[in-house]
Structure 1
Amino acid sequence: MLLDLGAYVLFPFLFFAAIGFILSGRKRRISTWLMYLVLAIGLHWALTFLGVRVLRI
């Protein structure tokens, strides 16, 4: 349970940090930025749903 809570709390921040590191490495188009942003937000909501409804954290 503690491991699940830790992953739920820390994973979104690590994911956003990794995306920022990857995107800042070189110049990219705005559509690439938007795609990664939508992916990160979708993943964050999926983890929230998983944590609240399935794991009952």
Structure 2
Amino acid sequence: MDIHLELQPIIYKLEEGYNIRLVLYTTDFEMTIRDNTAYHLTVDLAQSMLTLPCQKE
């Protein structure tokens, strides 16, 4: 399955050496009725890309 997401921009000020993590949820907490189904997500990192625009001060 191929997924393309346009993420909403948020401005963060990060110190050098900080780590950025991407969290994947299996539901939209505001719009979905959740149950206790045990979902498993697998991400092929070799076929994945995350582009983050940045600006040095």
Give the TM-score normalised by the residue count of structure 2: 0.26
The answer to which structure, 1 or 2, has the higher relative contact order (CA under 8 A, 6+ apart) is 1
Structure whose residues are more often helix by fraction: 1
Give the TM-score normalised by the residue count of structure 1: 0.26
